[in-house]
Amino acid sequence: MVLRTSPPSRAHLRLLAEADAAPPARRRDLYAEIADRRLAAILAAEDVAEEHGLSAHVRTTCYVHRCWVHQCVSDPMHVLIVTGHRWCRRCDRTVDVEIDETFPGSVELSCDGCGVPPDTVANREVLLACRTSLRAMHGGEASTLYVVPES
């Protein structure tokens, strides 16, 4: 299968100042109980971006756990055997994730079965999403609302 255009990714998103855009009211209400308002805004914005083609595998937030993706990526729910996310195809085992949240943070994937770091496209997406999530969490007060640009 050959794609005529590259799939949408975070590279196709742009940053907006808070005054420029706000998530729809239904999105704001969905995450109203989250104390970290930056996290809530990015959750809502990534929900909208995903509806417009953002791959769920490059999100910096997790709408299921309502947190930064690096904070919950070790949950068994995030093991996707079919796509290979957090999965070692060499030995058919779950890949472990080690996260150090201390600034600037680090993310490591490892397989206890074969001892070889899983270097697949899917697991590189896990690393990218977690590293981006760490940077977003440590981003301070800077606006990080992601929206799909107009065509």
Per-residue model confidence (pLDDT) at position 80: 94
Kindly list the averaged pLDDT for each block of 10 residues, start to end, along the chain of length 151. 45 46 59 90 90 90 95 95 95 95 91 92 94 85 43 39
CA 33 – CA 117 distance, rounded (Å): 38
Per-residue model confidence (pLDDT) at position 25: 58
Q: Where are the alpha helices (DSSP H) in the chain?
A: 25-30, 37-51, 69-72, 121-137
Per-residue model confidence (pLDDT) at position 140: 53
Who contacts 26 (Cβ-Cβ below 8 Å, separation ≥6)? Answer: none
Is it true that the peptide bond before 104 is cis, omega within 30 degrees of 0? yes
Q: Where are the alpha helices (DSSP H) in 2-137?
A: 25-30, 37-51, 69-72, 121-137
Per-residue model confidence (pLDDT) at position 70: 95
Q: Which phi-psi region, left, alpha or beta, contains residue 93 (left: φ > 0; alpha: ψ -120 to 50)? A: beta
Who contacts 3 (Cβ-Cβ below 8 Å, separation ≥6)? Answer: none
